[in-house]
Amino acid sequence: MKVLVSNIMMINERDRFDALLRAEGVEPVWPEVNQFMGEDQCLSYAGEVDGWLAGDDKITRRVLEAFLPRLKVISKWGTGIDSIDLTAAKDLGVPVCNSPGAFRDAVSEYAIGLLLAATRRLARTDRLIRQGGWPKGRFPGMAGRTMGVVGYGAIGQGVGQRARGLGMAVIASDPYMPEAPDGTPMVSFDALLEQADVITLCCNQTAENYHLINADTLARARDGMILCNVARGPLVDEAALVDALRSGKVAAAALDVFEVEPLPQDSPLFEFENVALSSHNANSTVEAIEYVHANTLDNLFKHLKG
């Protein structure tokens, strides 16, 4: 049996997983991947593999049809499966597995850290000290503010828990959750825009929420609001965000994901000291990554050998 390995996390440890897969009687196929494979690159492996250890690859209906009848399972590394046409997978009988909830703690604590980096200028202070300076800034704190969480699944709830630990009030908006299991007030997205001092995006990417944060929604948000995105880059219209940062409408932004990744070196986001930039790496704890490695392989072998 052959398995396509296109997720960056296993590619980064290729020798380890190549040996592990071969020990299980599986021949791995290792494509050259820059973050993820587009539809055309996916199609170049059609009909060649029995399983797929996928990343954020663009797995469309056309791709799925081309991989059949040989493909038995897609085991997605991580939690997000928005890059896969799940309706087509169901129609065609292709199981899609992931690791839901695996990054609750890793991503939610990173979101808070990234927010503090953006608002308290932690990286700038560190850099200036290393250059011989001793800066004394005055920056906004989190205590007493209202955190609005968009998407209140495992990660969103983790963000809410940690925000309350900072002395924040927490509200959330999630069209799939009328009531929160932890008692957090659930409000409409419009109400969240009006009430939240800090907005943290923890939702899946869908066709409906593309550019959820745009010029209009930013205009309706509170003056001096703070934005954190640890979900998906296309949720935010970056051009509109840049304009809002320049005008002061947005006081700070904490961004782990972007519309184009890696972030282009000519991005205007580099202009701002009140923007904390990260490399789509909020899940980066040893414990979470090792769990997902193991679960992703278990999901694969369960369908290949079952």
- Is 48 assigned a catalytic role? no
239: CB partners within 8 A, 6+ apart = none
- Is 280 assigned a catalytic role? yes
264: CB partners within 8 A, 6+ apart = none
The backbone torsions φ and ψ at residue 268, rounded to the nearest 5 degrees and listed phi first, read -65, -10
Alpha carbon 181 to its chain's center? 22
How far is 159 from 121, CA to CA, in rounded Å?
20
Q: Determine how many CB atoms are found less than 10 A away from the CB of residue 197.
A: 19
243: CB partners within 8 A, 6+ apart = 215
Pairing of strands 169-173, 225-229: unpaired
Catalytic residue among 121, 145, 222, 232: 232
The greatest distance separating any two alpha carbons of the chain, rounded to the nearest whole angstrom, comes to 64
Distances in Å between the alpha carbon of 33 and those of 10, 81, 275, 300?
11, 18, 28, 20
User: Is 52:84 a contact under the CB 8 Å cutoff?
Assistant: no
Catalytic residue among 280, 290, 293, 303: 280
- Is 261 assigned a catalytic role? yes
Active site residues: 232, 261, 280
